[in-house]
Each structure stands twice: as structure tokens, then as C-alpha cells.
Structure 1
Amino acid sequence: MTKNFRFLLPAAAGVASLLVLSGCAVTETSGARPTSSSTDSASMKTASLDQTQVHEIAITVDETALTEMIQTYLDTGEKEWVSASVTIDGETFDNVGIKLKGKSSLRSITVDTPAQDLPLRIRLDKYVDGQEFAGISDFTIRSNSSETSMNEAVALDLLSEAGLASTLAIATRVSVNGSEEALTLTVQNLDDTWVDDYFPDAGGDSVLYKAEADGEWSWQGEDADYSASFDIEAGADDYQPLIDLLDLVNNGSAEKIAAELPGMLDIDSFATYLAFEEVIDNFDDIDGPGNNAYLFWDSSTGRFTVVAWDHNLAFGGSPTGGGPGGQRPDGEQGERIGDPDQAPPFGGGAGAQNAGGPGGMTRDNPLVSAFTANSEWLALYESRVTELESSLIDSGTLEASVDEWENTLTAGASDLVADETITTEGDAILASAATAD
């Protein structure tokens, strides 16, 4: 059973949730699990990640080391770890690893970019074993072209409601070396802890792969090195299950794929995943320009589950300055990456980016192509679109999530983002969904 960190109740009952991990009992619906740690037990009993509050992350790092980290990326594309002290809601962790995170989100950074605006990965246990906060050691401070990041936060809420593996998301006030604070969305990174939370019954030799932004889903041969296209984030150091999948979807006949893919892929979950990305109008998914997806292979079943990742362009968000619906907070249309003579790949409602089926048209993904070429699976996908439009949009679940995030940000971050902006960006999410529907 998928375990959700943020469990949304029906709209009439409200959607407030509280996640308190470690040192206390947890319920099945929380998706949390008790953990042991070398961190001080007293602090672990009180550490919590209440998703109805805005949290604080203060980073202290050597300025020279920070500048060198950025310059190294600009010169080589390499993302190096540096040591820092990180304080989360008043609890300080020393010798923490931080590094830049993302690809398209790093296109415009320079050594002069305000450090609090950088997308960062934070690993509390990079250099000190067992360091964690509320049972989690690996966080990502996300970037977003909207001021509130509500589009991604709401998308993760709905991902859980769709019955798919999501991840913990909290609103955060981030500062670096005493800088001004920036409002960001911070999420739990997908790692061994995350696998244990969401796939507790998986086999011991299971593997979590991440598709790299510049990677390919092509067949490169049985003995090729696929590590440049897929990184192993958790589990066994084993590429064979992935190689077998790529062989089938790239080289198999329609008949062979129909016969063998159900034994290698959770067909039902994948249909739901594709439908979900369509319903929330996210073109930057598994076959979008960012190649955004994780693949979890369960050794006990021998099957893959595609795991959604990166929803900062959900609800028609623009990759260069536009919020949900493709609009910047000043009301102007965000600039678009790509050929200006081509029709926009997003922002026109679910399905507008690809009249021929699920996903974006910016990348030919063999897995998606093989799946949608099968009439039975395509029909399953289409039925899931209808079901999710009903259960996520028409039911009021989307509106309840937007309301909760608006309340959270208004109460805890209105000094960083104007109340009007919070309301405007929330309304844009609802308008995007209404247009899609």
C-alpha cells in the first residue's frame, strides 16, 4: 500500500495534516515510520514537519567555498558538495553537505545570485552518520517560477490523492549567512528512507533509478554503461532490470511488448501517472524536456513503478518567469524556451500540449510510446483521465488543497510574499484546472 506523508481528507472535513516523526507513535495514513538515529533523542521527540506551518532553514557556509561551488558548476557542470551548518526550526546541524540541485533551474545562476535563491540539496548525514530531522536526512530546496511555489505543493497533494507515491513538501523561509529570507518549497529527496516509507514491502535487492536530464531511454546494448542516463539513488547497484526494460520497449514487437511489459511494469500505476500529469497540465514529465521521472524496481515482484518528480511547472507554469497558467506575477506572459514560431507546449489546459496522447511532445520516450501504442492501455489511460478529473478537480479536493496552502502562506509568509500574490497564484491554479476540465 502506498503510504502518503500528506493525507488529504475530503474537502468537507478539511485538509490540515500534521507529520510528527520519530520518538512517538504514527498512524498508517501518515505514511511515516518510526526511525532510530544517533541524533539527540530529546530533540527527535519534538522535531516535526507540520505542513500547515512555514518552517525556517538557515544555512551558514564559508563564502569562498560557496562561490567556488557555483563557479565549478559554471565551468564544468559538476555539482560539488561543500560543508555547512544548517539550522532547521532552531535546531542546528554541523558539517552538513549542501550542493546545487537541478538543471534548467541553474541556467541563469551566477556567482552573484543571492544564495537564498539557489536550488540546493541538503544532506544532514553527508558527513555525519545518523544526522536527521524528523526522521529525514535528505532535503531539496526547490526552485519555482511562481513566487509561492503553490503549484508544485498542490500537485504533490493531488499526487497522494491519486494513489501514487508522492513526497513530503513544506513551505520554508530560507536564509544563507544571515541574508534576507526567501520563500521556497522544500521537499524530501527520494532516497533509501523515502523508499522504506513508500514501498515498505519491497524486496531487499530493489533499486531506485533517476532519469538524468540529459539522459536517453534508447537501447545502447546489453553491455553498455547506462549510468550517464540513469543514476541509482537507492538500493542495489544493479542496472540489469533497467537494461531489460529498455531492450523490450526499444526493440520488442507490439505483440512482445503486450505480452511481456505487464510482467515488468505496473501498468495500472503507469496509466494513472500519465493521466495525472495530463490533468495537472504538467508538460515537464517523463517525456518532457527535463526527463523527469524516477523508476522504482521491486525485486519481490520484478516490476517497475514510475515515480513522479519535479512539478514546478504544474498547472501551466512557465519555465522562465511565469507562474501557474504561464503568467508572471506582474500579469505579463512568461518567456518560453524553444522556437518562438512553434505553438506553446503548455499553458493551454491539459491535453493542449499533445493532442495525440499523454505527455509532452518535446521528447520521444520509448516507454510512453510503447504504452500508448497499445489500444487497451491507451483506453485505460483515457479512463483514468476522466476518473482523476472527477476525483481531484470536480470533487473539490484541488480547491481544498489550494485553500490550505493559501492559509499556510498567509499566516507564515505574508511578509515575504504579498497576500494579493498568494491569492492570485492560488486562483491561477484553479483557473488552469477549470480550463483543462
Structure 2
Amino acid sequence: MTRRRTAIVATIAVLALGGGGTAFALGSDDTDRAATSGVSTAAVEVADGTGVWDSETLHDISVEVDDAAVAAMIDTYRKTGDKDWIEATVTIDGTTFEQVGMRLKGNSSLRGVEDGADPTELPWLLRLDEYVDGQALDGWTDFVVRSNNSETALNEAVALDLLAEAGLAGEHAVATSFSVNGGDAQLRLVVQALDEAWEFENFTTDGLLYKSEAGGDWTYRGTDPDSYTDIFDQETGDDDLTPLIDFLDFLNNSTDAEFEDELASRLDVEAFARYLAFEDLVGNTDDIDGPGNNSYLRYDAETGGFTVVAWDHNLAFGGMGRMGGPGGAGEFGERPEGMPSDMPTDMPTDFPEGERPDGMPDGMRGGPGGSNVLVERFTEVEAWADLVEQAKADLTESLYASGFADDTIDRWAELLTTQASDLVDADTVAEEADAVRDSIASLVS
């Protein structure tokens, strides 16, 4: 089966706005309703990945890195929450790169990490050009080695394929045999980082990409950019937080009437409704209003509008129900290797901001769970809440009733069964594929 990311056409979404208005599906013939035009996402159709992002092939990544440097990096993270870069030699599909940047990547996925943790199991960001300018593979420089609570990461792999089919910007993902310092390889899902190359592939306009930090929030903190250091990180473009600060000011300080009248000129509301619908349909509890604030905001320099970009789907399809340690798998209630003995295996993720469960690194703060000002105010507007429900109905048909999800699960399961049998046994692949199917059945029932 060929996977293509559905194009998000750069057209104007017509929405019914105003107090008590009722939303209608895109393409409705009812033109008598009061409507307004809004900004739209300038995204393009992205073909199947090739080369290092060919998802039909099991890839190989082996890392050689100084054990003492890894230990020092983990110790620093445990004490301060800082994720330092270290140098490594990395071989990807037979091509070796020297002086590659390597650092920890993640937040909740690093909860409970201890000194002496197996680096093969940890989540990483590998950056080929961190120390060597121009160093790249197939034009790509950044590779995110994801963690997952299952052995196959099928839940995230499938979710990313569905995200693309839903017409939303996502990431290429590949199954990988990952090893460190000659140790036993493990099956790991590797995905694109949201960087300049990713942005160029997905959008036709210049823009700025902002990442919402796990320990932060979406509050307005005034006009000083330094006030936002801990809550947003700019990923692309020249340093400029002005559009973001203006947007946060609007989200937090506009009246209800101003919000309803003006949001569509500041945000692609149709794409955001589709995003919210999608996250519900894949059962992802760790999205924009989850404990990790997992999302990006992209500012379109031509239209002056924002779009929300999805990120982090390792808890899709019931992934929260299995508590694995960093990078590892474990059934619910088991204590994965490396988790502190005083840290509960069923620890909730929606703890109040600023509080940490016992065993969490000192520098790792708890983000807010189940709250986001954009989500809350958006869904309070009847027209947009209706638009989310319409998107759910549309996506249920196109992703599930159509058979697309079943075909996607089959494709990933066949890949792992035929090419990764030395990393995961066939029974485990079948069991976890069935778990995704069961989760889908419960989500759409």
C-alpha cells in the first residue's frame, strides 16, 4: 500500500460565526448564512519518504559514544533538567558520520531515568550538523529516536500515517534497528524532527515555527521575549517571538466577542478543528491540552495566521495503559528496569504545574494537564465545536470505515514480521497490532 500525505489545499474555510451561529461542513450549499473568511494553511502534498525515510525498509542506526559523556549528560539532566549535547559517531544504513550531536529528547518519556540507564533504551535527538556544517544524509540532518511503551511502536507509526491521511502536517517515520557501543540492537521508531528541512517539505510559504514546552503554558506574560523562554522554543526562522506574543495576548485577553470575530483571521480554524478531531479519534491523551503541551505553532509570514502542528503520538491508541520506562516496554503495573523503586508505576500525568511526583528529576517540571486556553475558548464557540464534530464524522469515514487504518496496520505488521524478526517476535507484533485494532474499535464505537 502506498502512503501519501493528503494535501491541505490553500483555500478559504467558510465558517458560520457570531453568537449562536451554527457551523456547516466545508462545501455546504447553504450560502445564506452569515460567514467570514479566515486564514488557511499553506501546506502541500508530501510524497512517501525515500532514502533514509523509506518506510518500507527496516533501517539501521548504530552509535559509538563515550560512556562517561553519556553518564555525565544523564546526571546533568537528573539534577537540572538540562539536555546537554555530546559528540558521537553515528552510522546510518552503512554511512558513517563523525562528530554527530546527540542529546536526550523528551519529557515524560525521560521520567524516572537513572544514572547507568541503558542508552539503547533512551529517547534521543541525533543532529548530523551540530558540530560539522553541511553534514547530512539525503538532505536530512535531524533524527528523533522515539520512546514507546510497547515493543513495536506500532501505535505511533500507525497514528502518523493516519495523521498524514487526515490532511494534517506530520512526520515521516521509519522502523529502525538501533544500537549503542556494539550492544544488542533494539527496535526503535525514528521520526523527523520539526526543523527547517521539515518545514520546507510541508509548507509553501515562509514562516516561524514555535514549540510549546512541556513545563510551560499558554499564558500571556507581556511583551518581553525573555519572559517566554521556559514556555516556547523557536525552531525555525530568524529569532522573533513577536507574532507568538501577539497571538497569546489575543488568546488570553480578548473578549468573547473579539475572540469569535477575530480568531479566524489569526488561526486556521478548519485545520485546528480537524486536529482536535484527529487526536480524539486516535485516543491521544498527550496532545495540545495534555500534560506535555505537545504541539507546535507555525506562523505563516504571508497570511499572518497560525496553524497548530501535531507532535508526539507514542501514547496513541491506548498507549497510556502500559507504563514502560524510558524507551522500554512494560505491561501495566510492572516496574520497568531503571525506574526508581519509590516511583509508582501507575503515576498520573495530570499533576499540577510545578509539582513533581517522587522520583522525577529535579529539573523536570510538571506541565498542566487537560487545560489549554486555545482549546477551551475554541470549543466554547458553538460553530467551531460543531466543526470539530463534523471533522470527527469525516475522519471516521476516511480513516476507519474506508479500511485505510486496517491496511496501515497490516503494512507495518508485515514489515516488522518479515524484516525485524531478530528484534521482535511475530507473536508480539500480532498482539500489538490487534491491540491497536481493539483500541480503534473502542474509539469509534
TM-score, structure 2 normalization: 0.80
Counterpart residue identity of residue 156, structure 2: E
Q: Deviations over 1:339-370 (max 9, x none)?
A: 99xxxxxxxxxxxxxxxxxxxx9332011111
Counterpart residue identity of residue 396, structure 1: G
Aligned partners of 1:233, 1:29: CA distance in 2, in Å? Answer: 21
> Which one of the candidate residues 127, 133, 150 is aligned to 2:131?
127
**How many pairs does the alignment contain?**
377
Q: Does structure 1 retain, via aligned residues, the 8 Å contact 2:145–2:191?
A: yes
Aligned partners of 2:256, 2:387: CA distance in 1, in Å? Answer: 17
Aligned partners of 2:321, 2:296: CA distance in 1, in Å? Answer: 21
Find the counterpart in structure 2 of residue 207 from structure 1: 208
Matches within 5 A, 1:44-193: 47-193=51-197
Find the counterpart in structure 2 of residue 7 from structure 1: 4
> Which one of the candidate residues 389, 392, 396 is aligned to 1:385?
392
Counterpart residue identity of residue 102, structure 2: I
1:428 is paired with a residue of what secondary structure?
helix
Aligned partners of 1:339, 1:196: CA distance in 2, in Å? Answer: 34
Find the counterpart in structure 2 of residue 238 from structure 1: 240
CA offset at residue 227 of structure 1? 2.0
> Which one of the candidate residues 308, 312, 315 is aligned to 2:314?
312
Aligned partners of 2:334, 2:237: CA distance in 1, in Å? Answer: 43
CA offset at residue 132 of structure 1? 1.1
CA offset at residue 189 of structure 1? 0.4
Aligned partners of 2:257, 2:196: CA distance in 1, in Å? Answer: 36
Q: Deviations over 1:201-223 (max 9, x none)?
A: 213xx210000000111122233
Aligned partners of 2:230, 2:142: CA distance in 1, in Å? Answer: 22
CA offset at residue 394 of structure 1? 0.9
Aligned partners of 2:332, 2:241: CA distance in 1, in Å? Answer: 47
Pair 80,147 (structure 1): closer, same or farther in 2 beyond 3 Å: same
Aligned partners of 1:48, 1:251: CA distance in 2, in Å? Answer: 45
> Which one of the candidate residues 406, 409, 428 is aligned to 1:399?
406
CA offset at residue 47 of structure 1? 4.7
Aligned partners of 1:114, 1:223: CA distance in 2, in Å? Answer: 41
1:318 is paired with a residue of what secondary structure?
helix
CA offset at residue 124 of structure 1? 0.4
Matches within 5 A, 1:295-310: 295-310=297-312
Counterpart residue identity of residue 296, structure 1: R
When the two chains are superposed, the root-mean-square deviation of aligned CA atoms in Å is: 2.4
Pair 319,227 (structure 1): closer, same or farther in 2 beyond 3 Å: farther
1:265 is paired with a residue of what secondary structure?
coil
Aligned partners of 1:329, 1:149: CA distance in 2, in Å? Answer: 12
1:30 is paired with a residue of what secondary structure?
coil
Find the counterpart in structure 2 of residue 284 from structure 1: 286
Find the counterpart in structure 2 of residue 337 from structure 1: 347
Higher relative contact order (CA 8 A, sep 6+): 2
Moved more, 139-148 or 233-242: 233-242
Counterpart residue identity of residue 185, structure 2: E
CA offset at residue 318 of structure 1? 1.7
Q: Does structure 1 retain, via aligned residues, the 8 Å contact 2:349–2:369?
A: no
Identity of aligned residues (%): 47
Pair 333,159 (structure 1): closer, same or farther in 2 beyond 3 Å: farther
Q: Deviations over 1:158-189 (max 9, x none)?
A: 00000000111000011000000011100010
Q: Deviations over 1:415-437 (max 9, x none)?
A: 21111110111111111111111
